[in-house]
């Protein structure tokens, strides 16, 4: 946070919770006055001259607004809680490019991650099992390669992407469509806690006490894409909110990637639509890495990988090629689990399937 006085911080937090004062209006207000304290004390006529709604000026001195700002100040006193302002040198450069960049971000966890190279992964909340497996496998591989995996904490593809990064001790950022004190969906409270514990971050531009509201979820999508070098859509119907994220990414000059699927699967149609519109067709992690080759990344688990024992499935396949069913029997694991693991290993180029039999790749 920049070196600002306690009074200025309190003034910014009061402005932040005013009704009908979105990012563009707040930018306009802050640009018209020397500081937030001056804006708060300016006459209502000055606010009207900027085209701001009367409700904004009328509410700024109410006790409720003061109380919400005081609650935000108390939250910021807790370890690991941060507020990143639009004029802070640490504000992420890619996000700063947006015409409606958030003037303030609340962050729980590692705020420094926001400036690390990120890849957004989004998709259907009602994803198929193969879609979830793809999300997990791609997130694991990309996180191993040094990318921060950014998504929206939603059910389905988002959750699988976050978990995939955590599986390999990678970093992941969840951008919320609610305040950080009103996590949604509630089923992902545990996942949110694991993200923070794993060195990741929860991010929201909304007031801490903002509950779930339908209009805020498309709004948060611009932050997911805005923070990232590119957006990978794993599985989506034509009506999916993921396509909003992809459209925003394209408008922001970000790369858009889509994984194709069966023509008979409704969840693939959104991805096929994106590919027809110019999104890069992705069949492997290498397709993404080639497009982002200019970014110098440090693999996050290189040392761990050198010291880890061979993957048990690869150890089995080094002995002899096997069908997935035989492999499940050999390691005493459910077939669904084996198929998910094989998908990930195939994406990483560690195993290959020919005539229904899997084998370990050389090297």
- Asked whether 116 and 92 are in contact (CB, 8 A), the reply is no
Count the Cβ atoms, other than its own, within 10 Å of residue 170. Answer: 26
Residue 310 DSSP symbol: P
What radius of gyration do the chain's Cα atoms show?
Answer: 23
Whether the upstream peptide bond of residue 185 has omega within 30° of 0, thus cis, is yes
Count the Cβ atoms, other than its own, within 10 Å of residue 151. Answer: 31
Torsion sign over Cα 193, 195, 200, 203: negative
DSSP three-state, residue 275: helix
Question: What is the overall mean pLDDT for the chain?
Answer: 89
| Token pair belonging to 357 | 């039999």
Q: Examine the pLDDT at 362 and tell me if it is beyond 60.
A: no
Q: Quote the pLDDT of residue 360.
A: 79
Residue in the block written with tokens 């993957």: 311
Q: Examine the pLDDT at 348 and tell me if it is beyond 90.
A: no
Domains held by the chain: number: 3
> Higher-confidence residue: 86 or 183?
183
Do 126 and 211 fall into the same domain? yes
pLDDT band at 145 (very low <50, low <70, confident <90, very high): confident
Do 155 and 257 fall into the same domain? yes
List C-alpha distances in Å: 27 to 22, 30, 38, 46, 260: 9, 5, 14, 15, 40
Do 345 and 222 fall into the same domain? no
User: What CATH number did the domain enclosing 345 receive?
Assistant: 1.10.10
> Higher-confidence residue: 158 or 358?
158
H-helix or E-strand containing 27? helix 23-32
| Token pair belonging to 186 | 């509630």
> Higher-confidence residue: 185 or 335?
185
Residue 78 lies in a domain: no
- Asked whether 225 and 96 are in contact (CB, 8 A), the reply is no
pLDDT band at 359 (very low <50, low <70, confident <90, very high): confident
- Asked whether 119 and 94 are in contact (CB, 8 A), the reply is no
Angle at 333 between CA 331 and CA 334, to 5 degrees: 145
Least confident of 60-64, 155-159, 274-278, 302-306: 302-306
Q: Examine the pLDDT at 64 and tell me if it is beyond 60.
A: yes
Tell me the pLDDT tens digit for each residue of 293-302: 666 565 654 4
Do 224 and 117 fall into the same domain? yes
Q: What is the DSSP string of 166-213?
A: HHTT--EEEE-SS-TTS-SSGGGHHHHHHHHHTT-EEEESS-TT----
Do 41 and 120 fall into the same domain? no
| Token pair belonging to 246 | 């992809």
Do 320 and 261 fall into the same domain? no
Do 273 and 353 fall into the same domain? no
Residue 11 lies in a domain: yes
H-helix or E-strand containing 258? strand 255-258
Q: Examine the pLDDT at 304 and tell me if it is beyond 50.
A: no
| Token pair belonging to 349 | 């180029």
Alpha carbon distance 248, 176 (integer Å): 17
Give me the domain span that covers residue 21. 1-68
Torsion sign over Cα 67, 71, 76, 78: positive
Tell me the average pLDDT across 196-203: 98
Q: Quote the pLDDT of residue 56.
A: 84
Do 152 and 240 fall into the same domain? yes
Alpha carbon distance 343, 164 (integer Å): 13
Q: Examine the pLDDT at 309 and tell me if it is beyond 60.
A: no
Ramachandran category for residue 19: left, alpha or beta (phi over 0 → left; psi -120 to 50 → alpha)? beta
In percent, the amount of the chain with pLDDT more than 70 equals 93
Of 52, 68, 84, at which residue does a domain stop?
Answer: 68
Q: Quote the pLDDT of residue 14.
A: 93
């Amino acid at each position: 946070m920049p070196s600002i006085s306690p009074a200025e911080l309190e003034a910014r937090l009061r402005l932040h919770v005013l009704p009908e004062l979105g990012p563009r209006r707040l930018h306009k207000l802050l640009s018209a006055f020397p500081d937030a304290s001056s804006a708060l004390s300016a006459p209502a006529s000055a606010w009207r001259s900027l085209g701001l709604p009367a409700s904004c000026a009328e509410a700024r001195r109410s006790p409720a607004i003061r109380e919400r700002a005081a609650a935000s100040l108390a939250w910021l006193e807790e370890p690991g809680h941060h507020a990143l302002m639009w004029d802070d040198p640490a504000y992420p450069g890619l996000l700063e490019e947006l015409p409606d960049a958030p003037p303030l971000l609340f962050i729980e966890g590692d705020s420094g991650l926001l400036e690390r190279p990120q890849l957004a992964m989004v998709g259907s909340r009602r994803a198929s099992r193969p879609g979830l497996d793809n999300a997990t496998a791609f997130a694991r591989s990309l996180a191993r390669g040094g990318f921060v995996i950014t998504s929206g904490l939603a059910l389905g593809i988002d959750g699988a992407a976050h978990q995939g990064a955590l599986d390999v001790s990678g970093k992941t950022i969840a951008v919320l469509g609610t305040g950080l004190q009103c996590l949604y969906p509630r089923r992902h409270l545990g996942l949110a806690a694991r993200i923070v514990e794993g060195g990741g971050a929860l991010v929201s531009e909304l007031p801490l006490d903002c509950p779930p509201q339908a209009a805020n979820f498309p709004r948060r999508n611009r932050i997911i894409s805005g923070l990232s070098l590119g957006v990978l859509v794993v599985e989506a119907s034509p009506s999916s909110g993921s396509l909003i994220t992809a459209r925003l990414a394209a408008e922001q000059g970000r790369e858009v990637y889509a994984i194709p699927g069966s023509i008979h699967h409704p969840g693939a149609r959104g991805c096929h639509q994106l590919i027809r519109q110019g999104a890069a067709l992705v069949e492997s992690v290498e397709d993404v890495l080639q497009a982002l080759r200019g970014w110098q990344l440090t693999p996050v688990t290189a040392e761990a990988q050198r010291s880890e024992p061979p993957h048990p499935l690869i150890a089995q396949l080094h002995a002899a090629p096997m069908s997935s069913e035989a492999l499940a029997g050999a390691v005493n694991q459910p077939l669904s689990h084996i198929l998910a693991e094989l998908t990930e290993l195939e994406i990483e180029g560690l195993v290959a399937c020919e005539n229904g039999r899997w084998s370990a790749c050389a090297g």
